[in-house]
Structure 1
Amino acid sequence: MGMQSVAVACGALALCLALTTATNPGFVVRITQAGLDYAQEQAIASLEKKLAQLKLPDISGDSRVLRVGKVHYELSRLRLRDFHLPYSRITPISNKGLQVSISNAFAELDGDWRVKFLFIRDHGSFDLKVENIYIKILLRLGSDTTGKPTISTPDCSAHISKVRVLFSGKLGWLYNLFHRVIESRLRKILEDKVCDKVAMSVYNELQTYIRTLPVTARIDDKIGIDYSLVAPPRATTKSLDADLKGEFYSLAHRSPVPFSPLPLAFPSDHERMVYFGASSYFFNTAGIAYHEAGALVFEITQAMIPKDVEFKLNTSVFSAFIPQLEEKYPNMPMKFRVSTPTAPFLTVGEGGISFQPIVDVQAYAIFPNSSLAPLFLLSLTGNVSAVINVRSGRIVGSLDVGRIRLSLKDSAVGTFQVRMMQSLINILTSSTLLPRLNARLDEGFPLPLLDRIQLSNILVRFQQNFLLLGADVRFQPRG
């Protein structure tokens, strides 16, 4: 095989590897046209203030005026009084980015002038009205090596179709005779300055702001969420989509997830400003991370049982089902150690989120010196469903457990009928274990939101393989 053939084969192999290793997102954020319109309103208001602060250079030159001759002019202390952008539109353009079009903008300036011709010198002030300003800006979205979003302005054009300058002073009528020369120069300066200011605002303001999107979110001292971009944000004709890794991980040790996210068939909803798609991969990596971090281990003791539950966690109670307990460990307090031998695996479908966890419950007798005697090991399984909502920018939830099934895995006190203690296990689960889990879920997990964004008008809908959340957004300015 020749060198050229080897190169072609290597190239084809590299392409195949790239295609096979392409990663689906575990979490998707979609900004609809309504969301883009709202973002544009905020950005245009900020840009309007920035343009009103434009610093314009002094200009000078010579112009020939009929029956007067050469006139030397100087314009200084040019001050923008205001800059208005009354009409604007943002449009997502597939494979390019976002296009912002501004029309019928206008501005007013004033300044000082000085002229000399023949033996005459004069000075005064002038007013400048700039009308019919058209600005077109292309915003290109990308991502850096850390997975944070980036934004740039590869193209900006500004066109001013009407400039009117009016000189005041004793000979103002004379200087208005050569206003076209000055208007032409001012038009070119303003057009260049407007795009310079746009590029600077995008780099200094917009770029800084979009980078407040969290790449990682720390949940507690054990778990974090990876929200890094797996690809640059992509514009379609109707929205802007961002594909995020959407993966929980243990802060102590991050190991590869043994499965990959499936494609998300996002619906064409557009009534909300923003939509979030949290895949089953997202939720299942949470189970893996918490399991690997040892966070799915709980102890149940008498102190944890609510006062209104008439139940004593001791060998006397359980001896009704296991007579051997009274003989070996008479009237001794007990405790249970609850753990999961494997990470729970969830399914997300149109009916909601459900899973069938396998839970080990090890029972101990507690000696007066606090040492423990293992009694028996139960295996519990049952249908668990989740209720999901969004509160204060966080996904919150609660679990509901159906009928629990018991089996005996090991016993140091002989065999016994586990079905006889079904009601006791149900009490322990509903009164102690479930409230602890739900208290943690009620704290929630943060959504990937830019700084100072608040959500309202929340929509929660279950789809095949993912949870769809919709919301309207509001930007909260500082102070």
Structure 2
Amino acid sequence: MGIQSVAVACGALTLCLALTTATNPGFVVRITQAGLDYAQEQAIASLEKKLAQLKLPDISGDSRVLRVGKVHYELSRLRLRDFHLPYSRITPISNKGLQVSISNAFAELDGDWRVKFLFVRDHGSFDLRVENIYIKVLLRLGSDTTGKPTISTPDCSAHISKVRVLFSGKLGWLYNLFHSVIERRLRKILEDKVCDKVAMSVYNELQTYIRTLPVTASIDDKIGIDYSLVAPPRATPKSLDADLKGEFYSLAHRSPVPFSPLPLAFPSDHERMVYFGASSYFFNTAGIAYHEAGALVFEITEAMIPKDVEFKLNTSVFSAFIPQLEEKYPNMPMKFRASTPTAPFLTVGEGGISFQPIVDVQAYAILPNSRLAPLFLLSLTGNVSAVINVRSGRIVGSLDVGRIRLSLKDSAVGTFQVRMMQSLINILTSSTLLPRLNARLDEGFPLPLLDRIQLSNILVRFHQNFLLLGADVRFQPRG
């Protein structure tokens, strides 16, 4: 092989690898067999009602009967009284989708008959029982260009092994002489109609319902979450997994995230119906989005300090540590503006979520004309841990701050020992800044849930690089 051929082969290999490399998700949803079984129960109950509404066509034809001759028959006003699907099973099929198997189903119908042979005409009614109905449906899951899930039925088969017709009326005996012909026709009609109804239900109802999965969700007027699928949902022998982008972004301006999500070593837990894996990428894009949107800027004034905290935010209090304040700005109210110079970067590990944010705190004196006079700029850092939970379909949390370390970055009032005001900064942080952050975190972020799904029996576990949330689900019907 020549050098040129080797280069071409290497180029082709590189292209193939680039095309087959999947984007790691920032958020994973896993539906276990228990969750699939519950979804199947809800779907089968709906399908039963749909199949009971099947409209069957009139049937007519001619049949030869021994010692009678040619008989013309008509069956009309076929009415399904009920359709029962007592046994069903949903199974994930790797690389294909979900297979729904229904066995021992049965249905009951009635209708009117009319017969004509020679010069004889008569009519009556009949009852029909269809037994041992077997239905097998393959559901193929995919995603569209917007990242919303799609579902289709590439394969459906229905087989009816037993049809029993009982005719009443003066000439009912005549129908019973050629019932096998009628039963074959009814069997074929029903088998076709059942698969038609299944395909229609999947397209009109199931497809519509799964598209209630929110591709994007607005948290407030500044931040949104992208939950679009990065690949079609994939079936495994024990679950159905969906890989989502899992990325926060600024509504005003969405810029590329400067890092990529790491692979998630998702555990094989199957105790709950559904699991959510929120990666460190997911949480860190929240920090970037809020920072870029200017949402991590907080102002602290004396009015914000709780009344039970004996603390006045003015130059007289701080002049105990900075004597120059009393000379330049005697007994003036103060304001602090806290901001993050860079987006906070957190770590998710088996011990929980932790990070060491850097916060700049600029102090101002509020002059009599309401203008602000810069005083000093402090840099604050410390160990912060997060407590995470799920409430009403939202990830909620709260922060706990350890000992805060101070350093002086700039001063318009001369140098001073910042360690002397450690206790005052601790009070300001714990009484004003931290409660505001926790109030926001208590509002939470929405999980990617289908419409009318409620979570219960919540499980929260931390793993390397991601948070695992488990839950059982309940579907809440309308009304």
TM-score by length of 2: 0.98
Distance change >3 Å, CA 206–CA 370, structure 1 → 2: same
Matches within 5 A, 1:345-356: 345-356=345-356
1:66 aligned to 2:66?
Answer: yes
Q: C-alpha deviations, 1:9-32, integer Å up to 9, x for none?
A: 487156345258631000000000
Distance change >3 Å, CA 34–CA 316, structure 1 → 2: same
Distance change >3 Å, CA 7–CA 97, structure 1 → 2: farther
1:384 is matched with 384
- Percent identity between the two aligned chains: 97
Distance change >3 Å, CA 202–CA 5, structure 1 → 2: farther
Distance change >3 Å, CA 147–CA 6, structure 1 → 2: farther
> SS at 2:232's partner residue?
coil
> SS at 1:343's partner residue?
coil
Q: C-alpha deviations, 1:334-365, integer Å up to 9, x for none?
A: 00000000000000000000000000000000
- Separation (CA, whole Å) in 2 of partners of 1:13 and 1:87: 49
1:380 to partner: Cα distance = 0.3
Q: C-alpha deviations, 1:32-58, integer Å up to 9, x for none?
A: 000000000000000000000000011
- Separation (CA, whole Å) in 2 of partners of 1:58 and 1:7: 69
Matches within 5 A, 1:324-403: 324-403=324-403
Q: C-alpha deviations, 1:423-467, integer Å up to 9, x for none?
A: 000000000000000000000000000000000000000000000
1:8 to partner: Cα distance = 5.5
Which stretch shows the higher mean deviation, 167-176 or 231-240? 167-176
2:314 is matched with 314
> SS at 1:181's partner residue?
helix
1:177 to partner: Cα distance = 0.8
1:205 is matched with 205
> SS at 2:192's partner residue?
helix
Distance change >3 Å, CA 52–CA 407, structure 1 → 2: same
1:118 to partner: Cα distance = 1.0
1:427 is matched with 427
Matches within 5 A, 1:98-113: 98-113=98-113
1:79 aligned to 2:86?
Answer: no
> SS at 1:159's partner residue?
strand
The CA RMSD over aligned residues, in Å, is 1.6
- Separation (CA, whole Å) in 1 of partners of 2:17 and 2:304: 54
> SS at 2:31's partner residue?
strand
> SS at 1:370's partner residue?
coil
Q: C-alpha deviations, 1:106-130, integer Å up to 9, x for none?
A: 0000011111011101111110000
Distance change >3 Å, CA 185–CA 223, structure 1 → 2: same
- Separation (CA, whole Å) in 2 of partners of 1:78 and 1:40: 29
Q: C-alpha deviations, 1:128-169, integer Å up to 9, x for none?
A: 000000000000000000000000000000000000011100
Distance change >3 Å, CA 459–CA 317, structure 1 → 2: same
- Separation (CA, whole Å) in 2 of partners of 1:291 and 1:319: 33
Q: C-alpha deviations, 1:54-88, integer Å up to 9, x for none?
A: 00011111111111111110111100000000000
Distance change >3 Å, CA 225–CA 75, structure 1 → 2: same
Which stretch shows the higher mean deviation, 112-121 or 424-433? 112-121
Q: C-alpha deviations, 1:341-399, integer Å up to 9, x for none?
A: 00000000000000000000000000011101000000000000000000000000000
Distance change >3 Å, CA 171–CA 394, structure 1 → 2: same
Distance change >3 Å, CA 93–CA 411, structure 1 → 2: same
Structure 1: tracts of 5 or more residues without a match: none
- Separation (CA, whole Å) in 2 of partners of 1:329 and 1:265: 58
- Separation (CA, whole Å) in 2 of partners of 1:4 and 1:76: 75
Distance change >3 Å, CA 3–CA 140, structure 1 → 2: farther
> SS at 2:276's partner residue?
strand
- Separation (CA, whole Å) in 2 of partners of 1:232 and 1:4: 38
1:3 to partner: Cα distance = 14
> SS at 1:431's partner residue?
helix
- Separation (CA, whole Å) in 2 of partners of 1:21 and 1:190: 46
Distance change >3 Å, CA 44–CA 8, structure 1 → 2: farther
> SS at 2:109's partner residue?
strand
Distance change >3 Å, CA 166–CA 138, structure 1 → 2: same
- Separation (CA, whole Å) in 2 of partners of 1:397 and 1:67: 85
- Separation (CA, whole Å) in 1 of partners of 2:272 and 2:12: 43
Q: C-alpha deviations, 1:407-437, integer Å up to 9, x for none?
A: 0000000000000000000000000000000
1:175 to partner: Cα distance = 1.5
Q: C-alpha deviations, 1:215-250, integer Å up to 9, x for none?
A: 000000000000000000000000000000000000
> SS at 1:201's partner residue?
helix
- Separation (CA, whole Å) in 1 of partners of 2:60 and 2:20: 63
2:463 is matched with 463
1:405 aligned to 2:399?
Answer: no
Matches within 5 A, 1:45-444: 45-444=45-444
1:475 aligned to 2:453?
Answer: no
- Separation (CA, whole Å) in 2 of partners of 1:251 and 1:158: 49
- Separation (CA, whole Å) in 2 of partners of 1:51 and 1:178: 28
Which stretch shows the higher mean deviation, 274-283 or 168-177? 168-177
> SS at 1:214's partner residue?
coil
1:6 to partner: Cα distance = 10
- Separation (CA, whole Å) in 1 of partners of 2:79 and 2:134: 21
Q: Which runs of 4+ in 1 moved over 6 A?
A: 1-4
> SS at 1:258's partner residue?
coil
- Separation (CA, whole Å) in 2 of partners of 1:10 and 1:119: 86
1:7 to partner: Cα distance = 11
- Separation (CA, whole Å) in 1 of partners of 2:4 and 2:476: 59
1:5 to partner: Cα distance = 5.5
Structure 2: tracts of 5 or more residues without a match: none
- Separation (CA, whole Å) in 1 of partners of 2:250 and 2:17: 29
> SS at 1:284's partner residue?
helix
Equivalenced residues, count: 479
TM-score by length of 1: 0.98
Distance change >3 Å, CA 169–CA 264, structure 1 → 2: same
> SS at 1:41's partner residue?
helix
- Separation (CA, whole Å) in 1 of partners of 2:33 and 2:20: 33
- Separation (CA, whole Å) in 2 of partners of 1:305 and 1:67: 105
1:171 to partner: Cα distance = 1.4
- Separation (CA, whole Å) in 1 of partners of 2:133 and 2:193: 13
